[in-house]
Structure 1
Amino acid sequence: MRLDLALTRLRFTKTRSTARALVEAGHLRVNGQRVTQSSRSISVGDVLTLPRGKSVAVVQLLTLPERRGPPAEAQSCYRTLDPTGETAIAKDNSQDIKGNLSP
């Protein structure tokens, strides 16, 4: 299945063109590799890393959705690998930055 189509059916984006723009901007990784082609094929077992607002979602595909159905149906197609956001790629490093800031 095409990556942009999967992102839309999994309800990570509202439209396929939004998914295509997200992928082509280089904001998505598949199995740790940056992807810039929305036509890239994905399969069951692949790990997707994608932006979700100010955080990062890391999910593994369990099945490929056949349609863009209700949210519960879409969520049953993947599992979140880092629900707390504690992995290095999903961690917010803003607290780790120390500099010469005046009070």
Structure 2
Amino acid sequence: MDKWLWHARVVKARTSAAELVVTGHVRVNGARETSPGHAIKIGDVLTVALDRTVRVLKVTAFNARRGDAASARVLYEELGDAKRNS
């Protein structure tokens, strides 16, 4: 999961992705997941609580490597409105 979050450019570093997962800031299909190595599959919905936003992403693809922003954008579909925490 941490690798996918990094490839999808949700975070800038893979260690940051792992930290998000370990600290309970990521849900997979509504269930909190704390294992960075947890396998995800196409169709899974990830809810990611970032600093001031919550992103809900549906996994649509995987990449073997981390690419540019355009190639990262095809890895997911953004669902719903992002909620801002003020």
> What TM-score do you get using the length of structure 2 for normalisation?
0.90
Indicate the residue corresponding to 1:40 in structure 2: 38
The structure having more radius of gyration, on CA atoms, is 1
The one of 8, 12, 24 aligned to 2:22: 24
Identity %, equivalent residues: 37
More strand by share: 2
Unaligned runs of 5+ in 1: 95-103
Indicate the residue corresponding to 1:101 in structure 2: none
Indicate the residue corresponding to 1:99 in structure 2: none
Query: Does the C-alpha gap of structure 1 residues 13 and 91 become closer, same or farther in structure 2, counting only changes over 3 Å?
Result: closer
Indicate the residue corresponding to 1:98 in structure 2: none
Matched residues, number: 86
Offset at residue 52 of structure 1 (A): 3.4
Indicate the residue corresponding to 2:7 in structure 1: 9
Offset at residue 22 of structure 1 (A): 0.8
Structure possessing the higher relative contact order (Cα contacts under 8 Å, 6 or more residues apart):
2
> What TM-score do you get using the length of structure 1 for normalisation?
0.76
Unaligned runs of 5+ in 2: none
Indicate the residue corresponding to 2:58 in structure 1: 60
Which 4+ residue blocks in structure 1 deviate beyond 3 angstroms? none
